[in-house]
């Protein structure tokens, strides 16, 4: 059953990457405009940098990127260490990455549930919004594997959704406590947590855009396109940018007022203690 679910996941992402021309949009929200996805990517970079800055990374570190996609974060961390190993379940992406890889990055088509690496190999392992796409039974297996290949006193960085009620056909988030418990069961102790996307305006903005897109598709299919629909599209874009801008202006204040468990996503830093 596990292999069947992984095969379905592979097919989903393979189809998604083929249909979406922009790599960043393919990784984030394929149904949203590129600027929207670049914005989310920039925010994730900020969170990643913030957590990484807390680790005394050495040039000799071996690093594992689980669910690397097009390797944006593999390329980024590669500037600080000698060797990066990056895996993804979609072999077409790995083939693409290998053609464009920087020296020091090794790409492998591999499932997170069955890592073909020896125990205690990596000083730092990270997975950014990848594990949430695994059904829970596979997710727990992947967490066990990640902890197995990470060295004692090594670090594990995770950025994931913590809202189980927002699961969809290909997203299966755990709650804040469940993410922590799953790693601590595998001898990884929580060191630091960073909340992100507190403001519900951001969620509303995404839903607003998706609803608008559906309506526009119906209009287009009826051949009733007009100048009015064009201006509606511009208005939608302005509203979306405004909502997202307001949301992120309130993020720093939200982190002061609210607990990380009140956010939509969290960045977790664990330290392995075997």
pLDDT of 193 higher than 50: yes
**Ramachandran angles phi, psi of 124, nearest 5°:** -145, 130
Q: What is the pLDDT of residue 164?
A: 82
Of 203, 160, 165, nearest in space to 44 by CA: 160
- In DSSP terms, 265 is beta-bridged to 161, 196
- Output the CA torsion sign for 31, 36, 38, 44: negative
User: Among 16-20, 153-157, 173-177, 264-268, where is mean pLDDT lowest?
Assistant: 16-20
Secondary structure (3-state) at 123: strand
**Looking at the chain, how many residues does it have?**
274
- Please tell me what DSSP assigns to residue 67: S
- Quote the CA–CA distance of 238 and 85 in Å, as a whole number: 41
Strand partners, 271: 155, 189
> What are the angstrom distances between the C-alpha of 213 and each of 100, 219, 220, 236?
34, 10, 10, 10
88 vs 23: CA distance, rounded Å: 14
Instruction: Kindly report, residue by residue over 29-58, the tens digit of the pLDDT.
Output: 777 778 777 878 888 898 999 999 999 999
Residues forming a β-bridge with 158: 127, 268
For CA atoms 17, 22, 25, 27, the dihedral sign is positive
Q: Is pLDDT of 6 > 70?
A: no
For residues 173 and 163, is the Cβ–Cβ distance under 8 A? yes
At residue 214 the predicted structure's pLDDT band, cuts being 50, 70 and 90, is very low
Which two structure tokens, joined as six digits, stand for 158?
């995770």
Share of the chain above pLDDT 70, in %: 85
More confident residue, 8 or 149: 149
| CATH class, range 2-198+261-272 | alpha beta
Instruction: Give per-residue pLDDT as tens, 57-67.
Output: 999 999 999 99
- Phi first, then psi: give them for residue 23, nearest 5 degrees: -55, -40
CA angle 141, 56, 158 (to 5 degrees): 25
Question: What does the alpha-carbon distance between residue 207 and residue 151 come to, in Å, rounded to a whole number?
Answer: 41
Q: What residues have CB less than 8 Å from 262, skipping those under 6 apart?
A: 195, 198
Report domain extents, the chain.
2-198+261-272, 200-249
Q: What does the buried/exposed string (b/e) look like for 116-154 if buried means 16 or more CB atoms within 10 Å of the residue's CB?
A: ebeeebbbbbbbbbbbbbbbeebbbbbbebbbbbbbeeb
- The DSSP element (H or E) to which 47 belongs, if any, is helix 34-52
β-pairing, 150-161 vs 265-272, is antiparallel
Provide the token pair at 247. 């949301």
What are the tens digits of pLDDT across the range 135-171?
A: 888 999 999 999 999 999 999 999 999 988 777 767 8
Question: What distance in Å separates the CA atoms of residue 267 and residue 248, rounded to the nearest whole number?
Answer: 16
Q: What is the pLDDT of residues 110-145, one digit of tens each?
A: 999 999 999 999 999 999 999 999 988 899 999 999
Phi, psi of 54 (to 5 degrees): -85, -10
């Amino acid at each position: 059953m596990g292999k069947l679910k992984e095969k379905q996941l592979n097919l989903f992402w393979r189809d998604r990457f083929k249909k979406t021309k922009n790599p960043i949009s393919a990784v984030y929200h394929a149904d949203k405009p590129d600027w929207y996805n670049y914005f989310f990517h920039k925010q994730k970079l900020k969170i990643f940098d913030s957590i990484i800055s807390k680790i005394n990374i050495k040039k000799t570190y071996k690093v594992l990127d689980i669910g690397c996609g097009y390797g944006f974060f593999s390329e980024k961390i590669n500037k600080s260490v000698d060797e990066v190993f990056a895996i993804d379940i979609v072999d077409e992406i790995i083939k693409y990455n290998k053609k464009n890889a920087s020296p020091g990055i090794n790409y492998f088509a591999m499932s997170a549930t069955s890592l073909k690496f020896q125990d205690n190999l990596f000083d730092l392992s990270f997975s950014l919004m990848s594990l949430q796409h695994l059904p829970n039974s596979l997710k727990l297996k992947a967490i066990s594997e990640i902890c197995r290949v990470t060295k004692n006193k090594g670090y594990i960085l995770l950025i994931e959704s913590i809202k189980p009620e927002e699961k969809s056909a290909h997203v299966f988030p755990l709650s804040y406590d469940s993410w922590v418990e799953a790693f601590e069961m595998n001898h990884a102790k929580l060191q630091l947590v960073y909340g992100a996307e507190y403001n519900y305006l951001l969620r509303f903005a995404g839903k607003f855009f998706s609803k608008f897109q559906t309506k526009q598709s119906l209009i287009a299919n009826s051949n009733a396109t007009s100048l009015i629909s064009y201006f509606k599209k511009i208005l939608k874009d302005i509203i979306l940018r405004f909502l997202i801008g307001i949301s992120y202006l309130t993020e720093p204040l939200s982190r002061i007022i609210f607990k990380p468990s009140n956010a939509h996503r969290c960045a977790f830093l664990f330290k392995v203690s075997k």
